[in-house]
Amino acid sequence: MDLFIVIAVVSAALVGGALWGAYGTLPRRLEGFLIAMAGGALIVAVVDELIKPASAQIDLPWLVPAVLAGAVVFVALDTWVDSRFGNDNGGGLLLAITLDGIPENLALGVALISAGAPEVAALAGSIMLSNLPEAAGGAQAMRKSGLSKIKTLGIWTATAAMLAAAAWAGNAFLQDVPPEILALIRAFAAGAVVASLATEVFPKAYRQDSNQTGIAVTLGLILAFCLGTLGGA
């Protein structure tokens, strides 16, 4: 039941955000503010849900290269997306969610095997807080670049299904995997998240919302921290 709840939240956040961005009215400054909030939430997630658990299972000589590998892979793929499709078409945000989401949701599926209701609620809330505005901003950017609403929604729906499948696969197949392997998965995801924040999330938010980005990032961080405190209660 817990796994179903989290999978539903992951899917609903991405599809709902895509619907909002593709069909709704999303003022430029509001889009930037929401994306910055998502970035603030991801700062908390990358430390508390990825790096800290990974560091408890593997030593720094393994942790550091895994984090760097995630960053290098993201930057390489993001560079390719920019060169092929342009740097403001939503592809970067989609890539950020995907590279973060696949390894994170694999580990998430395993974590949910022993998670209680408060942890599930906190985790589900953090996922929605970060994924919904990113999907909305990415979908709207795709629409502005000329992609049809149907294709835009289809891309984000497929991404939601892929991440949901990753969570299910982690829960079904990785529960007996050595914790060191899961730690490497988390570390790789952490590197991808940090790189996406630096190259996609915060620059896009600042271009659209200027100095209010600082307030939005702080608000997202506070909300995610409070949700994490709930999960640890």
Angle between helices 202-209 and 213-232 (to 10 degrees): 130
Mean pLDDT for the stretch of residues 59-65: 96
Query: Is the confidence at residue 74, as pLDDT, over 60?
Result: yes
**pLDDT score recorded for residue 231:** 57
pLDDT band for 56, please (50, 70, 90 cuts): very high
What span, in angstroms and rounded, lies between the C-alpha atoms of 80 and 87? 10
Residue 177's alpha-carbon distances to 60, 89, 154, 164, 201, in angstroms, are: 20, 38, 33, 20, 33
List CB contacts of 75: < 8 A, sequence separation 6 or more: 195, 199
Residue 135's alpha-carbon distances to 16, 17, 25, 71, 228, in angstroms, are: 8, 5, 14, 21, 22
Tokens at 221, concatenated:
């961080």
Q: What is the DSSP string of 181-215?
A: HHHHHHHHHHHHHHHHIIIIIHHHHHHHHGGGHHH
pLDDT tens column, 180-194: 988 898 889 888 888
Tokens at 8, concatenated:
């539903």
Angle between helices 28-45 and 202-209 (to 10 degrees): 150
pLDDT band for 23, please (50, 70, 90 cuts): confident
Angle between helices 91-111 and 2-23 (to 10 degrees): 170
**pLDDT score recorded for residue 64:** 97
If you count them, how many residues does the chain have? 233
| Residue carrying structure tokens 């149907």 | 150
Query: Is the confidence at residue 103, as pLDDT, over 70?
Result: yes
Query: Where is pLDDT greater, at 118 or 67?
Result: 67
**pLDDT score recorded for residue 120:** 62
Query: Where is pLDDT greater, at 211 or 117?
Result: 211
**pLDDT score recorded for residue 4:** 80
What span, in angstroms and rounded, lies between the C-alpha atoms of 192 and 179? 20
**pLDDT score recorded for residue 85:** 63
List CB contacts of 86: < 8 A, sequence separation 6 or more: 145
Give me the percent of the chain exceeding a pLDDT of 70: 85
Distance of CA 221 to the CA centre of its chain: 14
Query: Is the confidence at residue 48, as pLDDT, over 60?
Result: yes
Query: Is the confidence at residue 115, as pLDDT, over 60?
Result: no
Query: Is the confidence at residue 124, as pLDDT, over 80?
Result: no
Of 76, 67, 29, 33, residue with least CA distance to 192:
67
